[in-house]
Amino acid sequence: MIAGRRALLAGLLGLARAPDASASEDEDSAAVYAAAARGPAQALHVRGGEIRVTFAQGAPGLDRAPVLAWIARNAQALEVYFGRFPVARYALLVRAQPGERVGHATTWGYAGPITRVDVGVRADAAAFAEDWVMAHEMMHAALPNLPRRCLWVQEGASTWLEPVARAQAGQLPAAEVWRQAVEGMPHGLPRAGDGGMDGTQAWGRLYWGGAAFWLQAEIAAFEATDGRRTLRDGLRAVNRASGGNAVVWPPERLTAVADAALGAPALAPLYARWAARPQPDDLAATFARLGVGAARAGGPPAFDDHAPLAALRRRITAP
Q: Shortest approach of Zn ion to residue 303 CB, angstroms?
A: 28
Q: How far is CA 2 from CA 89, 95, 212, 236, in A?
A: 37, 28, 22, 34
Helices (H), 100-226: 125-129, 133-142, 151-168, 174-184, 203-204, 210-224
Q: With respect to Zn ion, which residue has the nearer C-beta, 155 or 259? A: 155
Q: Shortest approach of Zn ion to residue 166 CB, angstroms?
A: 15
Q: With respect to Zn ion, which residue has the nearer C-beta, 20 or 218? A: 20
Measured at CB, which residue is nearest to Zn ion?
20
Q: With respect to Zn ion, which residue has the nearer C-beta, 158 or 216? A: 158
Q: With respect to Zn ion, which residue has the nearer C-beta, 244 or 291? A: 244
Q: Which of 141, 108, 145 is nearest to 247 (CA)?
A: 145
Residue 115 CB partners (closer than 8 Å, separation 6+): 90, 91, 92, 93, 105, 106, 107, 108, 137, 138, 140, 141
Which residues of this protein are in contact with Zn ion, per CB under 5 A?
Answer: 20, 155, 158
Q: With respect to Zn ion, which residue has the nearer C-beta, 148 or 314? A: 148
Q: Shortest approach of Zn ion to residue 199 CB, angstroms?
A: 17
Q: Which of 144, 50, 52 is nearest to 94 (CA)?
A: 52
What's the count of helices (H) and strands (E) in the chain, helices before strands?
14, 7
Q: Shortest approach of Zn ion to residue 11 CB, angstroms?
A: 10
Q: Shortest approach of Zn ion to residue 213 CB, angstroms?
A: 14
Q: Shortest approach of Zn ion to residue 88 CB, angstroms?
A: 21
Q: With respect to Zn ion, which residue has the nearer C-beta, 134 or 217? A: 134
